[in-house]
Amino acid sequence: MGSWVRTRSSAIVHHIRAFSMMDFRGSSWSYPNFQSDSSSTLLLCSFPYNIASLFSVKRFKSTVAGKQLDPQHATDSHNQALDFPGGKVTYTSGIKFILGFSEKRIPCYRVLDDDGELIRECDFEQVNKELAVKMYSDMVTLQMMDTLFYEAQRQGRISFYLTSFGEEAINIASAAALSKHDIVLPQYREPGVLLWRGFTLQEFANQCFGNKADGGKGRQMPIHYGSSKHNYVTVSSPIATQLPQAAGMAYSLKMDKKDACAVVFIGDGGTSEGDFHAGLNFAAVMEAPVIFVCRNNGWAISTPISEQFRSDGIVVKGQAYGIPSIRVDGTDALAVYSAIHAARNMAISEQGPVLVETLAYRVGHHSTSDDSTKYRPLDEIEYWKMDRNPVNKFRKWVESNSWWSEREEAEHRSSIKKQLLQAIQVAERTEKPPLTELFSDVYDLPPSNLLEQEKQLRQTINKHAQDFPSDVSLN
Ligand SMILES: Cc1ncc(C[n+]2csc(CCOP(=O)(O)OP(=O)(O)O)c2C)c(N)n1
Ligand SMILES: [Mg+2]
């Protein structure tokens, strides 16, 4: 990584562009070289056939597997095969270990170049003006919400916050490609999905302030949003627990023959948890319609991906579990939209899991409890913030279609700023939930240890009243 930083300069960035490579935390991913489908007159005519073929694994049954044997390994002169459960396996007489990595890394699918221009002859799902404008304006809203809530935390008005800077396209474009009936299980850096589905700025503010209008009754840390109305399962702090849950949820959708899938988000760090592997394997074996979206942003707090895994990112892990998988440029809203759209079609029509690995650097600190300049160089952050900014890139494309202008930009920003300031003020002024709510809802009859805790809490508050917020009703 050090050398990446030392050697990076605008000349090198230019050089990287010239060779169509994306330099992501010390390693390069090439973008796939798209071939146009000669049978199609329009880009879209070949979709989703071509993009679906980019997914790196085909699900196969044992009988099919026999026919799909890789001729490269069929070196036994007798040309025999071992008929073993799971499919036929050819023999080889050489001691040949398969490598832990392949020389050529899995390419990264993109539609827009760094200047927001369409790559020639690429496959993508068409986006009309109305959709593109909503996608772009929601990306801006998300960015502004992050900026203002982050400041509110710095001012001591909320206890914690976490931004999605750099990952706005993943948030919004993935949400745009889904149906509102799809059940979303977030990690925590995906509030944009909820924003897209209609969760209001006031609802976001209420949750962060933990007031009595918060659907979670102020019991969760800020950013732990959830909404049954919007099919968005509440964020839970322990990393990766949502993956096996998503497999189970998808399986229940399958049993109920619903035209919907589960969509679960996970960070690169989350893939080191056992639950990641359990979730993928369950989904593969049970053929559950779930999309695993792994946001590879290069960092898990201060742990770089070089210390997280030695594989070619996460996309190959999907393949290892027999799940069709694709790597996507997470700074490219059109690529994310097209890939998730195709993934959803596959998950539902084939009734099985799909994995999408997005590459987009975490531009902000991990959270308000972190200072990322302590462990990563400023110019690396700056490069992703400026040169690879997903919002700016998508704006260029939307503007090039004459769908957005400077005037609309200014109006949108001013309106959202007003709404956010108002939402923060209202949330701050709204009472906190009463103390009794802290102990209700979970059990029909509270167990003795919970009753004991409540008693102790009340005694402590009486004794040290000055240390407790005065706006919390003790009833
Ligand atoms: C089981 C578990 N272990 C550790 C933590 C502490 N923790 C919170 S966020 C985080 C980093 C996760 O990184 P990643 O999955 O890459 O997501 P990102 O923050 O980059 O979006 C860690 C280690 C936790 N919440 N749960
Ligand atoms: Mg990460």
pLDDT in tens, 63-117: 333 344 455 554 555 678 999 999 999 999 999 999 988 889 999 999 999 999 9
In this predicted structure, the answer to whether residue 251 has a pLDDT above a threshold of 50 is: yes
Distance 116 CA to ligand 1 centre (A): 32
CATH of 129-429, one of 1.10.10.10, 3.40.50.970, 3.30.70.330, 3.40.50.720: 3.40.50.970
**The token pair that represents 279 in the structure block:** 């979730």
Which atom of ligand 1 lies nearest, measured to the CA of 241?
A: 1
pLDDT bucket at 340, cuts 50 / 70 / 90: very high
Pairing of the two strands 290-296 and 299-300: unpaired
Collect all residues with Cβ–Cβ distance below 8 Å to 338 and sequence separation of at least 6: 47, 51, 109, 111, 123, 124, 125, 177
pLDDT digits (tens, 9 = 90+) for 368-402: 999 999 999 999 999 999 999 999 999 999 999 99
Averaged pLDDT, 128-148: 98
- Position in ligand 1 atom list of the atom nearest CA 238: 26
What is the model's pLDDT at position 56? 55
Q: Specify the pLDDT at position 473.
A: 87
Residue entry with tokens 């035209």: 259
- When the pLDDT of each residue in the chain is averaged and rounded to a whole number, the result is 88
When comparing pLDDT for 51 and 80, which is higher? 80
pLDDT category of residue 12 using cuts at 50, 70 and 90: very low
CB-ligand 1 contact for 191 (6 Å cutoff)? no
CA distance 251 to 242: 14
User: With pLDDT > 70 as the criterion, what percentage of the chain qualifies?
Assistant: 84
Residue nearest to atom 7 of ligand 1 (CA): 239
- pLDDT for the residue numbered 75: 54
pLDDT class of 62 with cuts at 50, 70, 90: very low
Q: Is 440 in the pocket of ligand 1 (CB under 6 A)?
A: no
Residue of minimum CA distance from atom 26 in ligand 1 = 238
Give mean pLDDT, residues 44-58: 47
Dist. CA 17–CA 55, nearest whole Å: 24
Predicted confidence band at 13 (pLDDT cuts at 50, 70, 90)?
very low
Does 36 have pLDDT greater than 90? Answer: no
Least confident of 53-67, 175-189, 271-285, 304-318: 53-67
Nearest alpha-carbon partner for 358 in 343, 336, 338, 337:
336
Q: Nearest ligand, CA of residue 297?
A: 2
pLDDT value of residue 29: 55
Question: Whole-model pTM?
Answer: 0.88
Predicted confidence (pLDDT) at residue 304 exceeds the cutoff of 60: yes
Predicted pLDDT of residue 60: 46
Would you name the residues annotated as active-site residues?
151, 237, 366-367
> Distance (Å, rounded) from C-alpha 48 to C-alpha 43?
10
Of the candidates 61, 149, 174, 141, the residue with the CA atom closest to the CA atom of residue 364:
149
> Is the minimum distance from the CB of 170 to ligand 1 under 6 angstroms?
no
Residue 180 has pLDDT above 90, yes or no: yes
Residue 437 clears pLDDT 80, i.e. is over it: yes
Closest CA to 203 of 182, 227, 183, 185: 227
pLDDT at 470: 83
Work out the percent of the chain whose per-residue pLDDT is above 90. Answer: 79
Q: What is the dihedral of CA 201, 202, 204, 210, to 10 degrees?
A: 160
Q: Is the pLDDT of residue 55 over 90?
A: no
Q: Can you tell me the mean pLDDT for 215-223?
A: 95
Give the number of other Cβ atoms within 10 Å of residue 408's Cβ: 15
Which residues have a Cβ under 8 Å from the Cβ of 433 and sit 6 or more positions away? 210, 211, 212, 214, 217, 218, 472
Q: Which pLDDT score is estimated for 64? A: 34
Lowest mean pLDDT among 25-39, 122-136, 147-161, 173-187: 25-39
Centre of ligand 1 from the C-alpha of residue 73, in Å: 40
pLDDT score recorded for residue 166: 98
pLDDT range class, residue 119, cuts 50, 70, 90: very high
Ligand 1 neighbourhood includes 222 CB (under 6 angstroms): no
Residues 324-334 have a mean pLDDT of 98
pLDDT average, residue stretch 141-169: 98
Mutate to test the pocket of ligand 1, among 167, 223, 301 (most ligand atoms within 8 A of CB): 301
Indicate which ligand has the atom closest to the C-alpha of 275.
1
pLDDT for the residue numbered 21: 65
Over residues 423-448, mean pLDDT: 94
Give residue 247 CA to ligand 2 midpoint distance, Å: 22
Instruction: Give the distance (Å) from ligand 2 centre to CA of residue 19.
Output: 27
With a 6 Å cutoff on the Cβ, whether 366 touches ligand 1 is yes
What single-letter amino acid sits at 2? Answer: G
